Amino acid sequence: MTLKLLAVDTATENCSVALRIGDQVIHRSAIAPREHTLKVLPMVDEVLAEGGLTLNQLDGLAFGRGPGSFTGVRIGIGIAQGLAFGADLPMVGVSTLAAMAQAVYRTTGSEQVLTAIDARMDELYWAQYQRQNGIWQAISPEAVISPEHLSVQVQPGVWHCAGTGWQAYPELAGQLKLETETSEILFPDARDMVMLATLSEGVAAENAEPTYLRDKVTWKKLPGRE
């Protein structure tokens, strides 16, 4: 049976949707901060129309579970849950960091990737990935961490860097005792999530959960604010 999956991601500045029909992937994406709610559903309609499918014909729905923007992650999971409830589809959460590792593999063939998303407040969303037997392994677990406290497990070979964190902290690559290469991947994309999603890990829509990593937001007090 041909696997048919839809993926939705709004966890970062990139808003993206992808439809997988077997080995074929149809996708849409746009760098659109603060416009995700306007763009994501039309993208869903476009990829389904191009694939000649309806929601009810899908096998499941994947979503970017984070980490990323708190609001963006909430928008993505909320829209994905609404679609999944309506069509009675299982849901699969996919890490935004793992999706960037997959994107590097798609574009360069690299199987060693360092992922870093600028988390603001002088922190990064971070993970270190290595592809083994066709499966991505997190050499270091996903974490929210300050750049100065960052550590890596030294492995031989070149490590490709993905995510906005490398632009936010250009000194980061130099402090790591690894051979690194930059990549063009700045944001996660649903086209990579739909390739990582497996229905064996699917849950009912009401049980789908985001991954924020940061449990709370520290607000810097302004003058006169309590």
Which two structure tokens, joined as six digits, stand for 90? 């299982």
Looking at the fold, whether 51 and 62 belong to one and the same domain comes out as yes
- Give me the domain span that covers residue 53: 4-95+188-207
- 3-state secondary structure (DSSP) of residue 64: strand
Pairwise CA distance, residues 145 & 213, whole Å: 10
Looking at the fold, whether 152 and 135 belong to one and the same domain comes out as yes
Q: How many domains does the chain have?
A: 2
CB of 92 within 8 A of CB of 36?
A: no
218 lies in a domain?
Answer: no
Residue ranges in the chain modelled with pLDDT below 50:
217-226
The reported pLDDT for the residue numbered 215 is 67
- Element of type H or E holding 83: helix 70-87
Looking at the fold, whether 164 and 176 belong to one and the same domain comes out as yes
Looking at the fold, whether 73 and 120 belong to one and the same domain comes out as no
Bridge partners of 135, per DSSP, are: 132
Looking at the fold, whether 64 and 115 belong to one and the same domain comes out as no
pTM for this prediction: 0.93
Looking at the fold, whether 51 and 83 belong to one and the same domain comes out as yes
Looking at the fold, whether 110 and 140 belong to one and the same domain comes out as yes
The reported pLDDT for the residue numbered 119 is 96
Looking at the fold, whether 56 and 166 belong to one and the same domain comes out as no
214 lies in a domain?
Answer: no
CB of 75 within 8 A of CB of 134?
A: no
